[in-house]
Protein backbone atom coordinates (compact mmCIF):
# COMPACT_ATOMS: atom_id res chain seq x y z
CA UNK A 1 0.00 0.00 0.00
CA UNK A 2 1.12 3.56 -0.73
CA UNK A 3 1.57 5.45 2.52
CA UNK A 4 2.61 8.82 1.09
CA UNK A 5 2.25 10.14 -2.45
CA UNK A 6 3.71 13.47 -3.52
CA UNK A 7 2.67 14.72 -6.95
CA UNK A 8 4.19 17.73 -8.71
CA UNK A 9 4.96 19.41 -5.40
CA UNK A 10 6.40 22.91 -5.67
CA UNK A 11 7.57 25.05 -2.75
CA UNK A 12 8.58 28.67 -3.22
CA UNK A 13 9.81 31.51 -1.03
CA UNK A 14 8.64 34.64 -2.83
CA UNK A 15 10.00 34.29 -6.37
CA UNK A 16 12.51 31.59 -5.47
CA UNK A 17 11.35 28.06 -6.28
CA UNK A 18 13.14 25.74 -3.83
CA UNK A 19 11.18 22.66 -4.99
CA UNK A 20 9.93 22.27 -8.55
CA UNK A 21 7.27 19.72 -9.44
CA UNK A 22 8.73 16.90 -7.38
CA UNK A 23 6.87 13.58 -7.44
CA UNK A 24 7.51 10.34 -5.57
CA UNK A 25 5.56 7.79 -3.59
CA UNK A 26 6.44 5.69 -0.57
CA UNK A 27 5.08 2.19 -0.02
CA UNK A 28 4.42 0.96 3.48
CA UNK A 29 7.33 -0.77 5.19
CA UNK A 30 10.25 0.70 3.23
CA UNK A 31 13.06 3.16 3.84
CA UNK A 32 12.80 5.90 1.21
CA UNK A 33 15.82 8.19 0.89
CA UNK A 34 15.86 11.76 -0.38
CA UNK A 35 19.49 12.56 -1.23
CA UNK A 36 20.82 15.91 -2.29
CA UNK A 37 23.46 18.55 -1.71
CA UNK A 38 23.06 21.76 0.34
CA UNK A 39 20.17 23.84 -0.91
CA UNK A 40 18.68 21.06 -3.07
CA UNK A 41 15.28 21.52 -1.43
CA UNK A 42 15.22 18.54 0.94
CA UNK A 43 14.14 20.39 4.08
CA UNK A 44 11.55 22.36 2.11
CA UNK A 45 9.93 19.08 1.02
CA UNK A 46 9.77 17.70 4.57
CA UNK A 47 8.47 20.99 5.97
CA UNK A 48 5.82 21.09 3.30
CA UNK A 49 4.67 17.53 4.09
CA UNK A 50 4.55 18.50 7.80
CA UNK A 51 2.45 21.61 7.24
CA UNK A 52 5.25 23.93 8.40
CA UNK A 53 5.79 25.53 4.96
CA UNK A 54 2.86 25.75 2.54
CA UNK A 55 3.10 24.08 -0.86
CA UNK A 56 2.92 26.52 -3.79
CA UNK A 57 1.24 23.81 -5.87
CA UNK A 58 0.92 20.06 -6.15
CA UNK A 59 -0.55 17.38 -3.93
CA UNK A 60 0.48 15.46 -0.84
CA UNK A 61 -1.61 12.38 -0.04
CA UNK A 62 -1.31 10.24 3.07
CA UNK A 63 -3.03 6.86 2.73
CA UNK A 64 -5.02 8.21 -0.20
CA UNK A 65 -6.24 11.38 1.51
CA UNK A 66 -4.97 14.90 0.85
CA UNK A 67 -3.10 16.48 3.76
CA UNK A 68 -2.43 19.78 1.96
CA UNK A 69 -3.39 22.62 4.30
CA UNK A 70 -3.14 20.45 7.44
CA UNK A 71 -1.51 22.08 10.48
CA UNK A 72 1.65 20.41 11.86
CA UNK A 73 -0.48 19.04 14.71
CA UNK A 74 -2.99 17.51 12.27
CA UNK A 75 -0.17 15.95 10.23
CA UNK A 76 1.25 14.36 13.42
CA UNK A 77 -2.20 13.03 14.27
CA UNK A 78 -2.40 11.53 10.79
CA UNK A 79 0.61 9.42 11.77
CA UNK A 80 3.50 11.39 10.25
CA UNK A 81 6.31 12.39 12.63
CA UNK A 82 9.09 14.78 11.68
CA UNK A 83 12.53 14.82 13.29
CA UNK A 84 13.71 18.25 12.15
CA UNK A 85 17.15 19.48 11.16
CA UNK A 86 19.15 20.39 14.25
CA UNK A 87 17.28 17.88 16.49
CA UNK A 88 14.97 20.15 18.39
CA UNK A 89 14.49 18.92 21.93
CA UNK A 90 13.58 20.71 25.16
CA UNK A 91 16.98 21.50 26.73
CA UNK A 92 15.63 22.17 30.23
CA UNK A 93 13.42 19.08 30.47
CA UNK A 94 14.86 15.73 31.47
CA UNK A 95 15.25 13.01 28.87
CA UNK A 96 12.20 11.25 30.29
CA UNK A 97 10.05 14.40 30.26
CA UNK A 98 11.12 15.16 26.69
CA UNK A 99 9.74 11.73 25.76
CA UNK A 100 6.57 11.94 27.85
CA UNK A 101 5.47 15.33 26.44
CA UNK A 102 5.57 13.77 22.94
CA UNK A 103 3.19 10.95 23.84
CA UNK A 104 -0.21 11.26 22.10
CA UNK A 105 -2.59 8.97 24.02
CA UNK A 106 -5.13 8.92 21.17
CA UNK A 107 -2.55 7.44 18.77
CA UNK A 108 -0.86 5.07 21.20
CA UNK A 109 -1.60 1.35 21.23
CA UNK A 110 -0.10 1.11 24.75
CA UNK A 111 0.24 3.16 27.95
CA UNK A 112 2.96 5.81 28.24
CA UNK A 113 5.14 3.66 30.53
CA UNK A 114 5.26 0.88 27.95
CA UNK A 115 5.97 3.35 25.13
CA UNK A 116 8.87 4.74 27.18
CA UNK A 117 10.21 1.23 27.73
CA UNK A 118 10.09 0.60 23.96
CA UNK A 119 12.11 3.78 23.29
CA UNK A 120 14.62 2.81 26.00
CA UNK A 121 14.96 -0.64 24.42
CA UNK A 122 15.84 1.05 21.12
CA UNK A 123 18.24 3.49 22.77
CA UNK A 124 19.62 2.07 26.07
CA UNK A 125 21.79 5.18 26.35
CA UNK A 126 18.65 7.25 26.89
CA UNK A 127 17.56 4.98 29.74
CA UNK A 128 20.90 5.58 31.47
CA UNK A 129 20.40 9.33 31.05
CA UNK A 130 16.68 9.48 31.83
CA UNK A 131 17.00 12.04 34.66
CA UNK A 132 19.54 14.24 32.84
CA UNK A 133 18.50 17.55 31.20
CA UNK A 134 18.15 17.20 27.43
CA UNK A 135 20.46 20.14 26.81
CA UNK A 136 23.36 18.39 28.57
CA UNK A 137 23.32 15.36 26.24
CA UNK A 138 26.00 14.90 23.59
CA UNK A 139 25.08 15.58 19.96
CA UNK A 140 24.57 11.89 19.23
CA UNK A 141 22.47 11.40 22.36
CA UNK A 142 20.32 14.41 21.42
CA UNK A 143 19.73 12.84 18.01
CA UNK A 144 18.65 9.61 19.73
CA UNK A 145 16.32 11.64 21.96
CA UNK A 146 14.85 13.48 18.95
CA UNK A 147 14.15 10.12 17.27
CA UNK A 148 12.79 8.70 20.54
CA UNK A 149 10.41 11.64 20.84
CA UNK A 150 9.09 10.98 17.33
CA UNK A 151 8.60 7.29 18.20
CA UNK A 152 6.43 8.29 21.19
CA UNK A 153 3.85 9.34 18.53
CA UNK A 154 3.75 5.80 17.08
CA UNK A 155 4.15 7.19 13.56
CA UNK A 156 3.20 5.26 10.45
CA UNK A 157 5.77 7.40 8.66
CA UNK A 158 8.91 8.64 10.41
CA UNK A 159 10.58 11.53 8.56
CA UNK A 160 14.14 12.49 9.51
CA UNK A 161 16.06 15.52 8.28
CA UNK A 162 19.80 14.74 8.12
CA UNK A 163 20.04 12.74 11.36
CA UNK A 164 23.74 12.02 10.73
CA UNK A 165 24.71 15.69 10.43
CA UNK A 166 27.52 16.60 12.82
CA UNK A 167 27.93 13.04 14.12
CA UNK A 168 31.14 11.02 13.94
CA UNK A 169 31.05 8.18 11.38
CA UNK A 170 30.69 5.66 14.23
CA UNK A 171 27.71 7.48 15.75
CA UNK A 172 26.14 8.07 12.33
CA UNK A 173 26.36 4.31 11.71
CA UNK A 174 24.74 3.66 15.07
CA UNK A 175 21.85 6.00 14.22
CA UNK A 176 21.39 4.34 10.80
CA UNK A 177 21.49 0.91 12.46
CA UNK A 178 18.74 1.99 14.89
CA UNK A 179 16.69 3.27 11.94
CA UNK A 180 17.04 -0.17 10.34
CA UNK A 181 15.67 -1.65 13.58
CA UNK A 182 12.75 0.83 13.56
CA UNK A 183 12.00 -0.30 10.01
CA UNK A 184 12.17 -3.97 11.06
CA UNK A 185 9.62 -3.17 13.75
CA UNK A 186 7.26 -1.98 11.00
CA UNK A 187 7.61 1.81 10.74
CA UNK A 188 8.02 3.31 7.27
CA UNK A 189 10.87 5.83 7.02
CA UNK A 190 11.48 8.90 4.87
CA UNK A 191 15.15 9.74 5.35
CA UNK A 192 16.69 13.01 4.11
CA UNK A 193 20.48 12.89 3.84
CA UNK A 194 23.57 14.23 2.10
CA UNK A 195 25.54 11.32 3.52
CA UNK A 196 25.49 8.51 0.94
CA UNK A 197 26.30 5.86 3.55
CA UNK A 198 22.58 6.00 4.39
CA UNK A 199 21.98 4.15 1.11
CA UNK A 200 22.94 0.96 2.97
CA UNK A 201 19.53 1.00 4.60
CA UNK A 202 17.56 2.47 1.72
CA UNK A 203 14.96 0.47 -0.16
CA UNK A 204 14.62 3.14 -2.82
CA UNK A 205 14.67 6.88 -3.19
CA UNK A 206 15.41 9.94 -5.26
CA UNK A 207 18.33 12.26 -5.83
CA UNK A 208 17.43 15.92 -5.77
CA UNK A 209 19.37 18.82 -7.29
CA UNK A 210 18.22 22.43 -7.48
CA UNK A 211 14.71 21.45 -6.47
CA UNK A 212 14.37 18.79 -9.21
CA UNK A 213 14.39 15.01 -9.07
CA UNK A 214 17.42 14.00 -11.15
CA UNK A 215 17.23 10.26 -10.48
CA UNK A 216 14.66 7.91 -8.98
CA UNK A 217 15.25 4.24 -8.35
CA UNK A 218 16.02 1.41 -5.98
CA UNK A 219 19.08 1.37 -3.70
CA UNK A 220 21.31 -0.22 -6.31
CA UNK A 221 20.34 2.26 -8.99
CA UNK A 222 21.15 5.12 -6.62
CA UNK A 223 24.44 3.57 -5.46
CA UNK A 224 25.54 2.83 -9.02
CA UNK A 225 24.64 6.23 -10.41
CA UNK A 226 27.42 8.49 -11.66
CA UNK A 227 25.75 11.25 -9.71
CA UNK A 228 26.21 9.49 -6.37
CA UNK A 229 29.74 8.38 -7.23
CA UNK A 230 30.76 11.90 -8.11
CA UNK A 231 28.80 13.94 -5.64
CA UNK A 232 28.81 11.69 -2.61
CA UNK A 233 31.63 9.22 -2.80
CA UNK A 234 34.19 11.48 -4.42
CA UNK A 235 35.25 8.91 -7.03
Ligand X SMILES: Nc1ncnc2c1ncn2[C@@H]1O[C@H](COP(=O)(O)OP(=O)(O)OP(=O)(O)O)[C@@H](O)[C@H]1O
Kindly determine how many residues on this chain lie close enough to bind ligand X according to the rule CB under 6 A.
Answer: 13
- Mark the segment that binds ligand X (CB under 6 A) among 37-45, 59-67, 121-129, 180-188: 37-45
Q: How far, in Å, CA of 98 to CA of 130, rounded?
A: 9
- Residue 161, helix vs strand vs coil: strand
- Cβ closest to ligand X, residue 41 vs residue 205: 41
Strands (E), 77-203: 80-83, 157-161, 188-193
Q: How far, in Å, CA of 87 to CA of 140, rounded?
A: 10
Please report whether residue 43 would count as binding ligand X according to CB under 6 A. yes
Of 20, 42, 87, 204, the one binding ligand X (CB under 6 A) is 42
Draw the binding track, 156-195, toward ligand X (x: CB under 6 A; -: no contact).
--------------------------------------x-
Q: Interface residues for ligand X in 58-97 (CB under 6 A)?
A: 85
Q: Interface residues for Mg ion in 41-70 (CB under 5 A)?
A: 42-43
String of DSSP letters for 15-37: TEEEEEEEEEEEETT-EEEEEE-
What is the smallest separation between the CB atom of 147 and ligand X, expressed in angstroms? Answer: 18
What is the smallest separation between the CB atom of 43 and Mg ion, expressed in angstroms? Answer: 3
- Cβ closest to ligand X, residue 35 vs residue 174: 35
Q: How far, in Å, CA of 195 to CA of 228, rounded?
A: 10
What is the smallest separation between the CB atom of 12 and ligand X, expressed in angstroms? Answer: 9
Interhelix angle for 169-184 vs 112-122, to 10°? 130
Burial group, residue 230, by CB count within 10 angstroms (0-12, 13-18, 19+): exposed
**What totals of helices (H) and strands (E) does the chain contain, helices first?**
9, 10
Name which of ligand X, Mg ion, none residue 38 binds, using a CB cut-off of 5 to 8 Å depending on partner kind. ligand X
Which residues of the chain form contacts with ligand X (CB under 6 A)?
Answer: 13, 16, 18, 36, 38-44, 85, 194
Amino acid sequence: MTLLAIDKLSVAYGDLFAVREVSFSIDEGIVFVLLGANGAGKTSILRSISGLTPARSGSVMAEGKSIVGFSPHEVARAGISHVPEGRRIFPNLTVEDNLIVSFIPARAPMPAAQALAAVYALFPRLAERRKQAGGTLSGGEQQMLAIGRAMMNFPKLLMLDEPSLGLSPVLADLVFERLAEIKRQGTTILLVEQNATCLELATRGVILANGHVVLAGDRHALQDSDFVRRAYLGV
